[in-house]
Amino acid sequence: MDLSPFQLADTLLGNLAPLGDLRRTREEFNVDDLDRLEAKLVSALRSIGVLRNAFAPINILPREILAHIFGMLAFDDTVPSSFLPDLSIRDDPHLWTQVGHVCRHWRETVLAFPFLWSTIDSDSALAALTFLDRSAASTLRVYLRDAAYGSRYSPSLERARFMQSIAHHSQRFAEMHIQPKFRYGSNIIRSLQHPSPKLKALSIVLNIGKDESQALPTLFDGVTPNLEQLTLANFTTWPGNHFGPNLTHLCLLAQHARGRMPTDDFLDFLQSAPKLQELVLVDAGPASSHAGASDPHRIIALDNLRTLQLGNWTAPETVGAFLSHIALPKSTRVHIWAERCSHTIDTLTMAVPADLVRLQPFHGLKTIHCTARPTTRGYPQLLSVVDGALVFYSTFSATTAPAALASLFDRLDTRALEELTVGIECAPELAWQPILAEMPRLRTLTVLRRPSRPLLAALCRGDTLDEALCPLLERVSIIDDTVLSTVRLFLFALDRAECGLPLRELNLYARTCSSRLESELHELGQYIERVEQLKDNPVDVERLAAGWPTEAYEWAMRQMATRRP
């Protein structure tokens, strides 16, 4: 007789009801019988659970969609980026596999789609080999790093058999990132001898001693035709490797001064990478002893470059010499930084070449923010040009500021400038006049934490000027001028009014404000349309460079801070 599941359950419950009679139960059953009965019932309940899971909305989805959802877990934001990956961040790369323990359907799904197992991470060598096997023919993202146990590291990449197992699959590599903590990295990369035609991203950050070769050995038999993103630390040359044709992202880090390429060879390499979109050179680049190319007129056009970042070069003038040999489109974002500079006039102003004709980001500047190095963490000395705004932070003194300003503004075309912020030790009035004379479209002037008198005096007519400078100037802000002279403010406002160029707005912030100062500022209203005394220090005048600190800067600083001696 066939019974439905419900009839079967009713029959079972009916048969179990008499078991309430303890004497009868002992006569008909023993403990072993009850254990077997309980096991069968548990198995039945498990089967019912499987049936119940089948009705869950997510399990009604086709397996392909379910696998895609699992892929979102496997490849979420915790996966290192393909360019400038930081393998020191220890998020569990295998956490997503717990979905396979939820139910049989999910377990069968994760095992049926090899692409879910395509991330090979040596943080757990055993898991890496399991992933390698289950990934079948999928393209691979490989992360080679030493295993971490709390704050301690274990040299887990010394096992030759493990490395051979990884290297055997080079035909499937899409990304390869090598960042060991110990100095056996050279042995690791020598195992990568077979072609890798699918490789798109490669990063190698090794600890190399000064007595070791700075030349990268030939990798993948020199066959990486689709490589797009390359990061190399410590290596100065790479003979036998053909990295250039399809490169879109390049980062070179921490090159020893000995063995760097001459400028001609470095320019040759850049010329071999016409698709380059991002170039990051931190304590790296052409040899400083060969700052210029043999042909002083040689120019390499980087027409597709979106970002150029140059950090911690040996000398600012070396940066200027390098920039004099490249041409950049208007849209390129330029960041040049240095943690330390010599205390001379050769600050980062010398990083700007004398001829800016081919460096279009410096053309048509609308904003210049020139101030002392901020105290904000993560702000080195910086020269940044982004979307028509030049931001310059450096270390100045009263003796070096005039020459540094002259050096900077002599190189810049400021005819389209509309906004100027000055926050360094001001040059004298006569030094400012030729600078301001080249700013006919200036509308906004801010003096930040420095004496405003030289600038205001330079804007007035006098023995050397028949006409007031900056005829479109309409807004002046003076922030925290501890030696502010209201007499100078009156003379400035009066002179602009008499020229028919009255100010529309004056903003003033002073740490202490007397009733006398308030009265004098009120009287300025007869010459200036709006005079406002700010009650709080406006933090927004500290114009931080757009997009700074960049991911490349933060990545490079982390790498250099964690390098072992």
pLDDT in tens, the chain (565 residues): 565 666 666 666 666 655 556 566 666 667 777 778 778 778 777 777 766 766 777 777 888 998 999 989 888 766 788 999 888 766 677 788 888 888 888 899 999 999 999 999 988 888 899 999 999 999 999 999 887 776 778 777 877 788 899 999 999 999 999 998 887 778 888 899 999 999 999 999 987 766 677 899 999 999 999 999 999 999 999 999 999 899 999 999 999 888 899 999 999 999 999 999 999 999 999 987 655 677 888 999 999 999 999 999 878 888 999 999 999 999 999 999 987 654 444 467 888 898 999 999 999 999 999 887 765 555 788 999 999 999 988 877 667 777 778 888 989 999 999 999 998 776 788 889 999 999 999 999 999 888 888 899 999 887 666 788 999 999 999 988 878 878 888 989 999 999 899 999 999 887 766 667 777 778 888 889 998 887 776 655 566 778 888 999 999 998 887 764 4
- At residue 523, the pLDDT reads 84
Alpha carbon of residue 359 to chain centroid: 23
Peptide bond into 316 cis (omega under 30): no
The distance from CA 91 to its chain's CA centroid, rounded to whole angstroms, is 19
Closest CA to 496 of 451, 463, 529: 529
Strand partners, 422: 370, 447
Burial of 308 (0-12, 13-18, 19+ CB in 10 A): buried
Task: Output the DSSP codes for 137-196.
Answer: T--EEEEE--EEETTEEE-TT--HHHHHHHHTTGGGEEEEEE--SSTTHHHHHHT--S--
Q: Which residues lie below 8 Å from residue 138, measured CB to CB, with a gap of 6+?
A: 114, 115, 117, 118, 172
Which residue's structure tokens are 């698709």? 275
Going by DSSP bridges, is the β-strand pair 147-149/140-144 parallel, antiparallel, or unpaired?
unpaired
Give the position of tokens 């006049």. Answer: 433
End-to-end distance of the chain based on CA atoms, in angstroms?
A: 82
DSSP summary character for residue 278: E
**Type of residue found at 394:** S
Residue 349 backbone dihedrals phi, psi, to 5 degrees: -60, -30
Q: How far apart are CA 469 and CA 440, in angstroms?
A: 7
In 357-493, which ranges are E strands? 367-372, 381-386, 389-394, 419-423, 444-448, 475-479
Single-letter residue type at 322: F
Contact call for residues 473 and 459 (beta carbons, < 8 A): yes
- State residue 94 phi and psi, 5-degree precision: -110, 10
Question: Do residues 508 and 524 touch, judged by C-beta distance below 8 A?
Answer: no
Beta bridge partners of 229: 201, 249
Phi, psi of 490 (to 5 degrees): -65, -45
Pair 243, 227: CB distance under 8 Å = yes
Residue among 107, 114, 134 at smallest CA distance from 53: 107
Tell me how long the chain is: 565
Of 444, 405, 445, which Cα lies nearest the Cα of 424?
405
In angstroms, rounded to a whole number, what is the distance separating the alpha carbons of residues 247 and 272?
Answer: 9
Residue 338 backbone phi and psi in degrees, to 5 = -150, 130
Q: What is the pLDDT of residue 343?
A: 45
Distance CA 421, CA 403 (A): 18
